[in-house]
Each structure stands twice: as structure tokens, then as C-alpha cells.
Amino acid sequence: MLPFQIKICGLTNVADTRWACQCGADAIGLNFYSKSKRFVDSDQATAIAEEIDRFNQRQDDETDVQKIRVLKVGVFVEMPVVELLEIADRHSLDGIQLHGDEEPSVVKKIRSGLSQNGQHCFLIRAIRSLPKELSIEQESKQETARLAAEIASWTEVGADFVLLDAAMPGEYGGTGKVIDIANISNLKSEIPLVLAGGLTPSNVAEAIQESGLSAVDVASGVESSAGRKDRGKVKEFIQLAMKSFRGMA
């Protein structure tokens, strides 16, 4: 079972983070890939993590509200394991998301390092699929088979979840490209899948219904500019996703 359903990724400031938490996001993604438009340095990440911790503490103090614990997820692209573990420890991350071209063998190293640090993080592996406009009908079975094989390889080494994102050359997420959901609906996986890739308030409900998945991840689809969230879009996205998930229950 996934520890979250709605992840807002690529937060770069405290104000956007506070708003996403208040709107009902249950996971926040912090991007530690230095070449990303949504990269956060140590000071930015500390401020955002502290805001999430304050929100969670207020939730614990309030007895008359439905409690939502917001999780902190670090997004990494081929970062040396020693550095990744240091960041995870410094910001008390709840989850680690591998979004580059890492090999499955890295999971064992990360698990070992976390254990030595006395820290537990769930591990998400991002797998990139063809965006809808590049998916050719006669190749869909091949793409589904490729995705299934890659998911199986990461399942075997102990990844907790797989995030399905749209593939674009030279890009590691946040492309705004819509994934071909037809490929996803045919996938079989032993671990939970998270839907990403081109999600927006206008398509999230349909994407949840068509894919049948129980968690979504969004970055560019709720932005006014790279790294800056649009408050109206964030609120609408979360509300529509929540409604869709309730309808699946």
C-alpha cells in the first residue's frame, strides 16, 4: 500500500509548500538534481522541510481535524550514494525517489546506508515511458512488455514503488508530456505504481479513472512558471484527485 496518494513535486519555496499542505497534498517532492529547473539547495530544502514539519506538528496538536501527515520525498538523479544518504539524513526524508538512469544494484547500497544511519525511507523508482504523441499503436505491446520487465527488475531488488513518467531525451521529469495511459492499464506489477507525466487539473480525474492507479504525482502541471506553483491549479488538482480516489473506493 502506498503511503501517499497525491504528491506535489518540485517545490522550491516555503509559501508554495504551505499552500500545498493546506490544500491536502500528502507528499511533497524536493528536487536535488542540480540541473533541474526545480533544484533546491541545502538552505531551500531545510526551510521547506521545516515548514512541512511545522504543518505536521500542528496537525498533531489539533484534535478536531482529520489529520494528514505530509511526507518529504527527495528526488535524485544519479547522485553518489554517500551524498544521497547525507541529504536524506539532514532533512529527515521519508522517501527517496531515483529519477535518473541508476542501475537496480544501487538499491542494496542505499538500504545498507539507511540501516547504518538508523533511518527508514521508502524507495521510489521512476521509470520513463513514451509520451502519448510518440506512442505508436503497433508498438504499444512492446512498450508494455518493456515497462513490465523494468518494473520487475526493480521489484526484485526491493524498490517499494514505481513512478511512471513520460520519457523525453535529456529530461528527468517535469516535462509536461502526457504519458500513454493505454500502456499502463495493461501493466501487471507486484508493487504499487504512481502515475505521473503531464498531469493537470483538466486531465487528472480521467487519468486516474483510465489507469486505475491509486496515486498521482504532479510538477509542471500546477505551475505558473518552472518551480513556482499556481495556487488555483494546486488546489483544483488536489480536490479533483481526491474526489476521483474516493470514487474508486
**Residue whose entry in the numeric block shows the C-alpha cell 509542471:** 220
- Sequence-separated (6 or more) residues with CB below 8 Å from residue 15: none
Q: What is the mean pLDDT of residues 134-143?
A: 60
Share of the chain above pLDDT 70, in %: 89
Domain presence at residue 1: no
Alpha-carbon distances of 89 from 18, 69, 105, 118, 147, rounded to whole Å:
22, 19, 21, 9, 31
Mean pLDDT of 14-32: 97
Q: Which residue has the higher pLDDT, 170 or 184?
A: 184
pTM: 0.92
The reply to whether 240 falls in a domain is: yes
Task: For residue 46, give the C-alpha cell.
Answer: 531545510
- Determine what percent of the chain is predicted with pLDDT higher than 90: 74
pLDDT digits (tens, 9 = 90+) for 217-247: 999 999 999 899 999 999 999 999 999 999 8
Task: Give the per-residue pLDDT at 131.
Answer: 59
Task: Please indicate, yes or no, if residue 151 is contained in any of the structural domains.
Answer: yes
Confirm whether 76 is domain-assigned.
Answer: yes
Cell numbers at 43, concatenated: 538552505
d(CA 72, CA 32): 12
What is the pLDDT, as a whole number, of residue 145? Answer: 84
pLDDT for 185 equals 73
Residue 60 C-alpha cell reads as 498533531
Task: State the average pLDDT over residues 125-138.
Answer: 66
Q: How confident is the model at residue 132 (pLDDT cuts 50, 70, 90)?
A: low
pLDDT(67) > 90: no
What pLDDT is stored for residue 187 in this prediction? 83
> What are the C-alpha distances in Å from 63 to residues 27, 66, 194, 210?
21, 8, 31, 37
Residue 81 lies in a domain: yes
- Indicate if the pLDDT at residue 141 is higher than 60: yes
Q: Answer yes or no: is 21 within a domain.
A: yes
Q: What is the pLDDT of residue 134?
A: 47
Residue 219: which domain range? 6-248
Cell of 173: 521529469
CA separation for the pair 123, 93 (Å, rounded): 11
Task: Report the C-alpha gap between 237 and 249 in whole angstroms.
Answer: 19
Q: What is the CATH number of the domain that holds 101?
A: 3.20.20.70
- DSSP for 55-110, please give it: HHHHHHH-SSS---PPEEEEEESS--HHHHHHHHHHTT-SEEEE-SS--TTHHHHH
Number of domains making up the chain: 1
d(CA 165, CA 215): 13
* Residue 66: predicted pLDDT: 63
Q: Mind listing the pLDDT tens digit for each residue in 7-22?
A: 999 999 999 999 999 9
> What nine digits make up the cell of 84?
544521497
Give the tens place of pLDDT for each residue, 179-214: 777 777 778 899 999 999 889 999 999 999 999 999
pLDDT averaged over every residue in the chain: 89
| Residue 71 burial (10 A CB sphere; 0-12, 13-18, 19+) | buried
What is the tens place of the pLDDT at every residue in 143-168?
A: 788 889 999 999 999 999 999 987 55
- pLDDT of the residue at 133: 47
